[in-house]
Amino acid sequence: MERYLTGTILKPKGLNGEVKVYPVTDYPERFLSRKSCYIGKTGSEAVLCNVVRASLAKGFAWLFFEGIESREAAEAICGLNLYIEEQELQPMPEGRAYLHELIGLAVVDGSGNDAGVVTDVLQMPASEVYEVTMSGGRVVLLPAIEEFIEEIDTERRLMVVPRFEEFL
């Protein structure tokens, strides 16, 4: 089962096992209602831990986990990531998608001809950029703006870029 990154444990706070978490989510308030999450370097090796108490302050989540009841135990998990399973992801509003839903989309031009596959989504200051790998291995970068992207259909696993040849 695939797991999705939702935060990174930064440092302990106090002596009773509380940790400061950097949220990697558009919905940090979900930490307040989450009863458990997986802790580990990667999602596949992470172990399930119960959340005892959570709070939010100044853009960070502060969490207590069952079994992490001392500063030393909290220090041992610093630098690890927090993951959740797909069914726990917040449904996205219309017209938005999770990054993992975009990776692997087939890219076609305005005539429906295969242009490549989305292999990464890069976070740039002005906008996201889709990295598209063409069949010959060439990589093309597409700005993730309406001017260039006509349609993204995550159910059909398809992205339509009408003027794809402009990026070649």
d(CA 30, CA 124): 26
Residue with the bigger pLDDT between 9 and 155: it is: 9
Average confidence (pLDDT) over 97-104: 87
Residue among 93, 22, 89 nearest 62 (CA): 22
In the prediction, which pLDDT does 87 show? 85
**For the segment 128-141, what is each residue's pLDDT rounded down to a tens digit?**
899 999 988 999 99
pLDDT digits (tens, 9 = 90+) for 81-95: 999 998 888 787 777
- Catalogue all structural domains in the chain, each as residue range(s) with its CATH number: 3-88 (2.40.30.60), 99-167 (2.30.30.240)
pTM recorded for the entire structure: 0.72
